[in-house]
Amino acid sequence: MERRDAVRNIAFLMGGALSATTIGVFLDSCNTPSTKKGSGLFSADQDQLITEVADIIIPSTKTPGAKAAGVGPWISMMVRDCYPKEAQDVFVKGLEDLEARSKKEYNNSFLKISVKERGELLGKVRDETVAAQKADGEKAAAAEKAKGTGKALTNTVKAAKYGPQGPSYFFAIARDLTMLGYFTSEIGATQALEYIDVPGRYNGCVDLKPGQKVYSS
């Protein structure tokens, strides 16, 4: 199985854990593009910033983190080649805002502040993103109710209905791609997860021992 297929499969398995924008990309546009839509989208510093953001989201613990797994360059590639321009613009603006906030709150570039300070700053961005998603979700639910459906749409349904063109959030895209990139990397699949090579014997129900890692394949 090629990594693109593995990423797509994990994206669908994660379902509601991903934003509608990312699910929409895999439903609609994550194919090898004939031309690169975002060539030169990021500066060298922004590529490095993406790597550091990913490593804050999945740091090294008992297993290597996102940086060791090479997730940062993969995120840059995915945003450049697969995401629509509207989401690309949101992502670039998010990087710029993160850098500006770092200089304002810590008097230094994000790449030069401590890991603890990076975590604090990114935590604020995460909380703001969750609040914004909640507010947008409530507006969308009210709109659906006004149409007579009375049902809030899940991220998967939103993605199927609107594709990757709905509301995008910098942190949500960064989080989505960090998880997808990490758990489909060799490090993520074989060290963070319990790896079983496939094809092999299929067992539809395998009990996990206390503390055992989730399986990958």
Model confidence pLDDT, tens digit, residues 98-140: 999 999 999 999 999 999 999 999 999 999 999 998 888 788 7
Whole-model pTM: value is 0.71
Question: pLDDT tens across 130-139, in order?
Answer: 999 888 878 8
**According to the model, what pLDDT value does residue 137 have?**
78
Scored b (16 or more CB within 10 A) or e, 139-169 reads ebeeeeeeeeeeeebebbebbeebbbbbbbb
Residue 21: per-residue pLDDT: 80
Angle at 170 between CA 183 and CA 93, to 5 degrees: 135
Residue 44's pLDDT is: 95
Which of 166, 184, 154 is CA-nearest to residue 25? 166
Mean pLDDT of the chain: 77
Residue with the larger pLDDT of the pair 11 and 187: 187
The region of weakest confidence among 95-104, 161-170, 199-208 is 199-208
Please tell me the least confidently modeled range out of 99-108, 146-155, 156-165.
156-165
